[in-house]
């Protein structure tokens, strides 16, 4: 993704008009980034050119204010991007203030998803801050009547060679008279001069979070706001035959009960599901009123959806030839002439995002036709469009205020719940807070794919891997918006399937069409999860058939260090919206993380009975990760994960503490996926409803200790929010095999079968 930028000055009147914020003075700059964004490719949203504006000000007090246009959900992006600015600006971090930007086209596509914030803005923000630093140096030089070469920015001051100093606050007003320097005059800091980049830093919101001052979506309170909940058809998209609202309307504390038209499946990712709305004075009254609603539900388009039979159908498909999306040599001949052939089927189930903070939104439809919302959203721009579309008004009449997000994992990039809140507020003519209970969240999510895969690997008489046949079937995300979309997109196929780096002469990668039968949406690491599970598990089987150490097997099968031109191997290749020449697929970087994780984990050490170590390596979101998981399996089938080691090459590390936190959390997230979580559907209805029957990893299931080892790199920064998940799961499964001799081929792991294998 090529990003260009333009820096321009703002006068105070224009600044207040654009931001709605008065009181910021001194030096005011706008920074416009021009680039192309495909972050919503998976949702079928057309590519759009966007030019986001980021506003920077330095006040007379010396305070540097930066408008944060990315959403904070625990990744630390509200900290890491300003750290880049502060470092290049030579600012004192204690004098940097952040203001959260509202959803507006002047900020461009604000979608905080896909692990692309840092890689998109790292260099432009550094250049921007370096420009501001240069302006301040020029201002000081003019003030002193000296050449600018004698002036150096240092720790929120400009220092003259004579020892004289002027603070940023003093220079701020005067800096407005200095023309914007030409790009060739701007010099970035040398790496050895970094004060914040690559150093441990606390997150900007830490004090507010630990003291309870931070405002998440659930915390928003505005005067006279009512509470609303919705009773929905258990089958997403289906409507109702009849509804008796009288009992609910008569419930204590209930203000109004009414219906929202349902949107039939496929409804996309932004439209309300519809149902019976109960508005009340408080949460308890709203929930009790909802329980009193008497309704007869209709059956919809997916009333026959059953995940058990659907899984069997997908399994049958992948055992037949599919559409070839990448090929080399003659895999059929390689398999027929092989000395050994390994054949394995793999399956995964639907899972739910279940962020700690369920979807929620506050909306206030005003008498002048405008509406203001407050919500924990990952994509405020899409939210704004969805609200405008739902209410039939122009986007300029919608204000979207972004709160902190209490977890998201991709769920809160879909704005359906905010559109619901807007509809309700417009109906009652008052501000309203819409709440999704945990039952709402689990039964009406945009679920992660269920999938089936079939892999065949052939070995010749020299113990060499000669053939690789991989077939994959899963309902594409695009099928949630268009019933004709039955084949995975290029983006989904290039999350581990097409972009498999193993060096093998005969390859056939195939895909099967599968219709979506329930709302499918992107979840942390998306299709990388099931593809990495199958591929890395099969590679471990290959290692044992070859009688080669599994880690050495991975290194062997990578072949010579090289840049792989996947564009020449498949017309469907996708590189996370980046040009392959800018972010090449380097096997040497994957090799390096494998070697590092071997070293740090003590790979190959003797394990006691019932214990095992497993290894996996995977590239996702342009980041190279290797993982070693240690397990202990007891005779009663309980699994303990005493240690996890990650080796990570994510290019330049801006905030190592945040990177490590993402991987520590990612390991726990992936443990839920592997050990516990499963959404099953029967007759079109999700069978799980809360944490009593939708299980997450408890503290006894989660990894006890996670060590994250970062490669020291000067390469461009890449993503870290999603890459922890894919390699963890197969490393865990491979460790279970070492401990028990039992292969895991279906997720979540069947503990009973493991017990019988001991």
pLDDT (tens digit, 9 = 90+) per residue, 17-61? 555 555 555 676 666 655 444 344 444 443 433 333 456 788 888
Average pLDDT over residues 192-214: 91
What is the number of alpha carbons within 13 Å of residue 683 lying toward its C-beta?
5
CA dist 316 and 304 (Å) reads 19
**pLDDT value for 685:** 97
**pLDDT value for 101:** 80
* Sign of the CA dihedral running 479, 484, 485, 486: positive
**pLDDT value for 52:** 37
CB 56 within 8 A of CB 31: yes
Q: What is the number of other CB atoms lying within 10 angstroms of the CB of residue 714?
A: 7
**pLDDT value for 28:** 62
**pLDDT value for 50:** 33
What is the number of alpha carbons within 13 Å of residue 590 lying toward its C-beta?
29
pLDDT in tens, 115-142: 777 887 788 888 888 988 999 999 999 9
pLDDT in tens, 306-356: 999 999 999 999 999 999 999 999 999 999 999 999 999 999 999 999 999
SS3 163: coil
Share of the chain above pLDDT 90, in %: 79
Q: What are the backbone dihedrals phi and psi of residue 182, each rounded to the nearest 5 degrees, phi first?
A: -70, 155
Average pLDDT over residues 418-425: 98
What is the pTM (predicted TM-score) of this model? 0.92
The three-point CA angle 646-72-663 to 5° equals 5
Q: What is the number of other CB atoms lying within 10 angstroms of the CB of residue 592?
A: 18
CA dist 89 and 195 (Å) reads 11
CB 130 within 8 A of CB 188: yes
Q: What are the backbone dihedrals phi and psi of residue 110, each rounded to the nearest 5 degrees, phi first?
A: -100, 15
**pLDDT value for 49:** 35
The four Cα atoms 356, 361, 362, 363 give a dihedral, to 10 degrees, of 180
pLDDT in tens, 90-115: 999 999 888 888 887 776 667 777 77
pLDDT in tens, 50-92: 333 456 788 888 888 877 778 888 888 888 888 898 999 999 9
pLDDT band for position 639 (50/70/90)? very high
Q: What is the number of other CB atoms lying within 10 angstroms of the CB of residue 483?
A: 12
The DSSP output letter for 338 is -
* Mean pLDDT taken over the chain: 91
């Amino acid at each position: 993704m090529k990003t260009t930028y333009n820096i321009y000055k703002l006068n105070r009147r224009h600044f207040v008009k654009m931001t709605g914020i008065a009181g910021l003075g001194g030096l005011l700059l706008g920074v416009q980034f021009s680039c192309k964004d495909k972050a919503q490719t998976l949702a079928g949203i057309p590519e759009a050119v966007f030019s986001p504006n980021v506003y920077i000000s330095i006040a007379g007090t010396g305070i540097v204010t930066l408008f944060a246009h990315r959403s904070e959900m625990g990744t630390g992006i509200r900290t890491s991007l300003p750290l880049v600015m502060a470092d290049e600006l030579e600012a004192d971090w204690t004098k940097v203030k952040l203001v959260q930007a509202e959803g507006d086209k002047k900020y461009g596509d604000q979608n905080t998803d896909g692990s692309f914030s840092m890689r998109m803005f790292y260099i432009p923000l550094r250049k921007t801050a370096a420009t501001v630093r240069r302006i301040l140096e020029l201002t000081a030089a003019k003030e002193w009547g000296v050449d600018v070469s004698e002036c150096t920015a240092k720790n929120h001051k400009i220092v003259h060679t004579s020892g004289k100093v002027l603070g940023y606050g003093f220079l701020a007003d005067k800096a407005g008279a200095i023309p914007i320097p030409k790009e060739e005059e701007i010099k970035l800091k040398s790496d050895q001069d970094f004060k914040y980049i690559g150093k441990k830093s606390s997150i900007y919101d830490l004090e507010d979070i630990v003291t309870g001052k931070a405002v998440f979506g659930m915390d928003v309170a505005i005067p006279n706001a009512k509470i609303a909940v919705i009773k929905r058809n258990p089958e997403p998209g289906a409507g109702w035959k009849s509804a008796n609202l009288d009992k609910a309307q008569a419930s204590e504390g209930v203000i109004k009960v009414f219906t929202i038209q349902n949107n039939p499946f496929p409804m996309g990712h932004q439209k309300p599901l519809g149902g019976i709305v109960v508005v009340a004075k408080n949460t308890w009254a709203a929930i009790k009123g909802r329980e009193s609603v008497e309704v007869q539900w209709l059956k919809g388009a997916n009333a026959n959806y059953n995940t058990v039979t659907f899984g069997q159908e997908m399994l049958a498909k992948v055992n037949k030839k599919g559409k070839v999306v990448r090929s080399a040599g003659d895999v059929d001949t390689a398999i027929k002439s092989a000395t050994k052939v390994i054949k394995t089927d793999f399956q995964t189930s639907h899972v739910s995002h279940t962020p700690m903070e369920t979807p929620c939104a506050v909306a206030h439809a005003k008498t002048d036709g405008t509406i203001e919302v407050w919500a924990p959203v990952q994509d405020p721009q899409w939210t704004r469009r969805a609200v405008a579309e739902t209410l039939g008004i122009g986007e300029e009449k919608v204000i979207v205020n972004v709160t902190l997000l209490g977890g998201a994992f991709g769920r809160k990039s879909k704005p359906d719940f905010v559109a619901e809140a807007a509809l309700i507020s417009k109906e009652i003519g008052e501000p309203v807070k819409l709440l999704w209970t945990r039952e709402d969240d689990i039964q009406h999510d945009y679920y992660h794919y269920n999938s089936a895969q079939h892999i065949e690997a052939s070995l010749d008489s020299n113990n060499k891997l000669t053939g690789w046949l991989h077939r994959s079937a899963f309902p594409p995300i695009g099928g949630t918006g268009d019933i004709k979309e039955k084949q995975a997109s290029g983006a989904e196929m290039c999350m581990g399937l097409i972009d498999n780096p193993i060096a093998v002469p005969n390859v056939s990668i195939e895909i099967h069409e599968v219709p979506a039968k329930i709302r499918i949406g992107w979840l942390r690491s998306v299709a990388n999860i099931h593809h990495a599970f199958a591929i890395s598990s099969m590679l471990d089987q290959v290692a044992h058939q070859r009688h080669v150490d599994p880690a050495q097997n991975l290194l062997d099968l990578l072949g010579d260090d090289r840049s792989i031109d996947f564009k020449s191997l498949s017309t469907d290749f996708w590189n996370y919206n980046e040009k392959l020449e800018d972010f090449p697929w380097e096997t040497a970087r994957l090799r390096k993380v494998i070697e590092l994780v071997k070293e740090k984990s003590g790979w190959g050490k003797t394990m006691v009975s019932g214990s095992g170590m497993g290894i996996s390596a995977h590239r996702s979101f342009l980041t190279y990760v290797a993982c070693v998981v240690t397990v202990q399996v007891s005779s009663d089938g309980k699994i303990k994960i005493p240690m996890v080691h990650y080796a990570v090459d994510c290019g330049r590390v801006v905030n190592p503490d945040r990177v490590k936190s993402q991987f520590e959390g990612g390991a726990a997230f992936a443990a839920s996926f592997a050990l516990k979580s499963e959404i099953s559907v029967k007759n079109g209805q999700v069978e799980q409803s809360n944490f009593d029957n939708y299980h997450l990893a408890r503290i006894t299931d989660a990894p006890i200790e996670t060590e994250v080892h970062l490669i020291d790199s000067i390469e461009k920064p890449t993503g870290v929010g999603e890459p922890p998940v894919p390699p963890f799961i197969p490393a865990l499964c491979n460790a279970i095999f070492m401990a028990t001799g039992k292969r895991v081929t279906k997720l979540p792991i069947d503990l009973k079968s493991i017990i019988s294998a001991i």
